[in-house]
Amino acid sequence: MTRIADLLAAGRTFSFEFGPPRTDDAARRLDKTLVELEPLKPSFVSVTYGAGGSTRETTREIVEHIHRDTTMTPMPHLTCVGHTHQQVVDIVTGYRDAGLENLLALGGDPLVDAPDAPSDFRYATELIELARGVGDFSIGVAAFPELHPKSTDRAVDRQHLATKLRAADFGITQFFFRAEPYFRMLDELADLGVDTPVIPGVFAFVNIEVARRFSATNGATIPSHIDERMSAVDGKPSEVRKLAVELATDLIQELLDGGAPGIHLYTLNFSTATREIYANLGLTPSGLV
């Protein structure tokens, strides 16, 4: 059983996210991380997609490597930006023919040096419709507990999210630092009649500057007491990781206690923090508490 919708129907999922490396050293680190995290037997793993599809080929190569050479179930990200209809058909058909069963459909970010690059798609729901016409995929979408960073109206934001989730099989959130926005989002979706499972994403950061930049970009609020603790360890890598692991462990426990259907860990292609979080939570390699 490798369809994520089926995995969620059977119980909680524990999953990881990886990104395409951009250098030879980064590629070696990702290979090492895959080897070190495979024994944890994640329910699935996702592979990100660069802005405007800039890592399209690398994403495909990593996804097919994971599918072919490991026991892990990969889920490629697929974005609207910078793609023609035929390009997306070709990408999705390739994944189908390779035996993949899961996709994450995203709006995506434009390329910094080509923000107005033409695209035949605007919304993730268009990708979902196309993918369902190509193969029998289990399809996820992104959710933002603290609203999409481009959103200016909470009610409209939740209506858009509800529409996406009705078309999809599951959602995965952007990271956040407090559990309350996630549970509030679920309540708001329930009020709209949506009960599609939404897996919370948790960020085990490895660098304070990067954590703050990602948070600002994605609309994730860093509470003042956490920001103060970040400042206190900034520039001390081992203490940064220790803090990140502590915060992630506490947040995950709160999410699990509150009934979250799973946990998706943003690894940044490192394994140590993820393995330490697993140990702290007493998770077995099969992901069961």
Catalytic positions, written as ranges: 17
Residue indicated by tokens 């426990």: 253
In angstroms, what CA-CA distances link 1 with 9, 67, 96, 134?
Answer: 11, 14, 16, 20
CA-based torsion, 64, 65, 70, 76: positive or negative: negative
Residue type, 143: A
Contact predicate 181/208, CB 8 Å:
no
CA 281 → CA 120, 256, 276, distances in Å? 44, 10, 9
| Alpha-carbon span 121 to 18, nearest angstrom | 25
Q: Which of 211, 192, 194 lies closest to 203 in space, CA to CA?
A: 211
